[in-house]
Amino acid sequence: MTDSTFLADVSQQTFATEVIERSEKCPVMVDFWAAWCGPCRTLMPLLAKLAGDYQGKFFLAKVDTESEKQLAQQFAIRSLPTVKIFRHGEVVDEFMGAQPEAAIRDILDRHIPRESDAIIERAQAHLKTGDSTQAIELLRQAVASDPDRDSPKIALAKTLLESGAVDAAQETLGTLSTAAQTDTTVIALKAQLDFAQMAEDTPSVDSLRETLSAHPNDTQARYQLGIQQIVAGDYQAAMDNLLEVVRHDRGFDNDAGRRSLLSLFALLGNQHPLVIQYRGKLAVLLN
């Protein structure tokens, strides 16, 4: 095997050091191969080239499955070549068979730290101290340094929305790639953005409570209070109010109570305890 600081042959005895421990510092790509495997011989020089190109941003570990049968069995290798990527001691990605260089680069780039990642970490540190202004500035820098990447934009949109900059958050979400639009985090952010925009045109929570105290059957006030409570993070109270809207007036604003409940469920996720509880309540009410 070519002598290099970026790649090495790995055995059962060296796997813990060369792969598991090293993966705490950088991604480790493990190539499970065999001399008799034609696609392995095709893939091997390409991976070695990438290890050189990336200059230590990832480490390439080669495992000869003929001499390291225990490792092959441990990682359930059924076909060759099989390539697994380790990060922080765990397999985080993999592929089988010879792949084109562009596809392998795409896989690697999911796991290799980038300049924007470090900037996002600094922004998160400022958010923990309540300094959202500096966090937003840093996140804008992260977006500028990596304009084709979605994750800095998502982080910026989330922070803008939490800071009340609704229009700026919407503009940022509009710059995401088509692929990112189906990401669960983005879907939740869009739902949160919709609620924030609706809340902008409603009276204050105190005013709505006063209205409902005097007029308990005011469906519009109850609906608006539910929207305000969603924005404030008071999700159970919001669900109670939206459920009352569904119970008393399904026709209100084209079934807005039910539609907003479903959007809130999407925002919180199917496994959230409140979603499980209130989805059942909604089902009973509708049936």
Catalytic residue annotation: 37, 40
User: How many CB atoms are closer than 10 A to CB 79?
Assistant: 10
Task: Judge contact between 2 and 48, C-beta under 8 A.
Answer: yes
Q: What burial class does residue 179 get, using C-beta atoms within 10 Å of its C-beta: 0-12 exposed, 13-18 middle, 19+ buried? A: exposed
In angstroms, the CA 94 to CA 79 distance is: 12
Task: Judge contact between 51 and 4, C-beta under 8 A.
Answer: yes
The dihedral formed by the CA atoms of 179, 185, 191 and 193, expressed in degrees to the nearest 10: -90
In angstroms, the CA 264 to CA 230 distance is: 8
In angstroms, the CA 27 to CA 125 distance is: 24
Q: Would you say the C-alpha torsion 244, 250, 252, 255 has a positive or negative sign? A: positive
- The per-residue DSSP string of 94-121 comes to EEES---HHHHHHHHHTTS--HHHHHHH
141: part of which helix (H) or strand (E)? Answer: helix 132-145
